[in-house]
Chain A
Amino acid sequence: MDEVATKIIEILRKHMKEQRDDIGLDTALTDLKIESLDLAMIVFDIEDGFGIEIPYNANEDVEDFKTVGSVVERVKSLMAAKAGSAAKA
């Protein structure tokens, strides 16, 4: 698992009500007992940790947040987009 994934799992662990050790990229967030308020705090920590902004609305079912792997992918693409726009500027 790469650095981004490790860091994201660390953030997820911080907000999980029941700890577990078997979190992988294919783990569904719904299996982690993460509720909407937890998700808002997770997004906040990820944004702070990676210096990005994740467009997300708690009222919508977000495809990007289905599994740990999809979150990692989304964060990587946002980081790449940010790096790209910074390079252009």
Chain B
Amino acid sequence: MSKTKAGRRVVVTGLGVVTPIGTTVDEFWSSIRAGKSGVSELSGFPLEDLKILIAAQIKDFDHKARLKHFKRDRIITMADRYSWFAAAAADEAVRMAGIEMPLTDPYRSACIIGSGAGGLTTFETAYRDLFIHNKRATHPLTLLRIIGSAAAAHVGIEFGVKGPTFATCSACSTATHAIGLARDYIRDGVVDVAIAGASESVITYGTMKAWQALHVLSPQGCFPFAKKRNGTVLAEGAGILVLESYEHAKARGATILAELSGFGMASDSQDMVKPTVEGPSVAMQDALDDAGITAADIDYLNAHGTATTDNDINETKAIRNVFKQHAEKLAVSSTKSMTGHALGAGGGIEAVACIKAMQDGFVPATIGLDEAGEGCDLDYIPNVGREKKVTYAMSNSFAFGGLNAVLVFGPPPA
């Protein structure tokens, strides 16, 4: 990451999402416009003694229908659910980009698709089989389903990507790091095209127990920045972008959706769960510097906004720290109020929300915000989204361990 805007310009030409409020970009965006919540009663497995009984699960995703046309990757439908989401989102993004894959020189493409946890659903099933049902062996595909690089590999195989292909892993900043790194590879001339983002699917009994034990899940709902907020709500999904060098996109006559103008990252290096104001502030400032713009140029900020007590106050302080006077006029919202917290995939889904906000001139709401919490004193676009011209948008991702990553999107280069 450099602090100068050297190198090639990088643009976004494709978007893909799978979320609890829509399994395509169009469906997702109309739900966002409508202020729809994806949180529902937990289901799909025995709830046993669970105390948290809600989640933002995807209940209308038919992987066989969505992935049946895959040609090069013959076993995608036998992969873990997290790889299905990644494959479907990548497929949508590649189609939207209208780019022919594999590239003529397949080594000029990258596929960076991260996951906070990889194939945990498979993990849990396999261990239940071994430890509870005393099965003699796990299914032969178990290992290939579990590995955290499975989604990147599956998507890379399907689209014939022969350049850098790997996963990032930084909890809730995973997708943002993946997109940022892909941006750097294109900027620095390593590749011309990248499929980048993240996918997550960890809503199982075991994961719910683990999150429950950390006492950060809300039993009621995801209400970022609200007085009534009492934790986040686990979600699942994927958010993936197709990035290209500006020259490459222009040469093939692609529709450019936005420029990926800035990327900043910084680590708190202090505590696994207690965030600092400094880390997020530095990441935001770096992203602005990288984009060559000032805080006052940002029209919309998609906050990390997890609805935990600590994050929302801390993020508000960091935003004030960076945006100074402009913070009063800044439109800030947390789309997690609608999607829930898709962990590693969050930054990918939120990058799509930022670009749609720019395209559509509409700023998403923070739903469920009847009364702001103490220390939460920005314009969070409460309850109802707003028509607003968005030239530059920022997307924040702040993860456990203090791993901060920030993206800035700008208008297509003139």
Contact = CB atoms under 8 A, between A and B. Distances in A.
Interface of A: 17, 37, 40-41, 43-44, 47, 53
A47 B136 CA distance: 9
B71 interface: no
B140 A44 contact: yes
B141 interface: yes
Contact of B137 (A17, A37, A47): A47
Contact of B140 (A17, A43, A53): A43
A40 B139 CA distance: 9
B274 interface: no
Contacts of B141: 37, 40-41
Interface of chain A, main secondary structure = helix
B140 A40 contact: yes
Interface in B64-119: 74-75
Contacts of B74: 17
Nearest to B144: A37
A44 B75 contact: no
Contacts of B136: 47, 53
Interface string B291-322: 00000000000000000000000000000000
Contacts of B140: 37, 40-41, 43-44
Contacts of A47: 136-137
Which 7 pairs show the lowest CB-CB distances between chains A and B?
A40-B140, A44-B140, A41-B140, A44-B137, A44-B139, A47-B137, A53-B136
Contacts of A43: 140
A41 B137 CA distance: 12
Nearest to B139: A44
A45 B139 CA distance: 9
Contacts of A17: 74
A1 to B, nearest CB: 26
Looking at A17, A37, A47, the one whose CB has the most chain B CB atoms below 10 A away is A37
A8 B35 CA distance: 55
Contacts of A44: 137, 139-140
Contacts of A53: 136
Contacts of B75: 37
Nearest to B138: A44
A43 B144 CA distance: 17
A41 B78 CA distance: 12
Contacts of A40: 140-141
B414 to A, nearest CB: 50
A41 B139 CA distance: 8
Given A43-B140, A47-B136, 15 more contacts: A17-B74, A37-B75, A37-B140, A37-B141, A37-B144, A40-B140, A40-B141, A41-B139, A41-B140, A41-B141, A44-B137, A44-B139, A44-B140, A47-B137, A53-B136
A41 B145 CA distance: 14
A80 B39 CA distance: 55
17 contacts: A17-B74, A37-B75, A37-B140, A37-B141, A37-B144, A40-B140, A40-B141, A41-B139, A41-B140, A41-B141, A43-B140, A44-B137, A44-B139, A44-B140, A47-B136, A47-B137, A53-B136
